[in-house]
Amino acid sequence: MSNAESSTVTSDLVWFKSSYSGTEGGQCVEIAADTRSVHIRDSKAVTGPVVRVSREAWAGFVGEA
């Protein structure tokens, strides 16, 4: 994805996990949004890398999902 960027500077974001995610962990992602971007990370590796995409790219992804 050409407009994706990896970042780990996300300490001021509020993260949300999918309501479909169970309490036993497993494979899940979390998202956080700011005024320009949506940030996506692995819920099991919260200090790991983060993918950042534009709000438009995220809306397109969600619209196709």
Side-by-side strand order, sheet with 37-42 = 5-7, 50-54, 37-42, 29-33, 16-17
| End-to-end CA separation in angstroms for the chain | 16
- Report pLDDT digits (tens) over 10-59: 568 999 987 777 666 667 889 999 999 999 998 888 899 999 999 999 99
Q: Which two tokens stand for residue 19?
A: 């309501």
Global pTM value: 0.74
**What total of structural domains would you count in the chain?**
1
Measuring CA to CA, which residue among 44, 37, 45 is closest to residue 12?
37
Which domain does 54 fall in, by range? Answer: 5-64
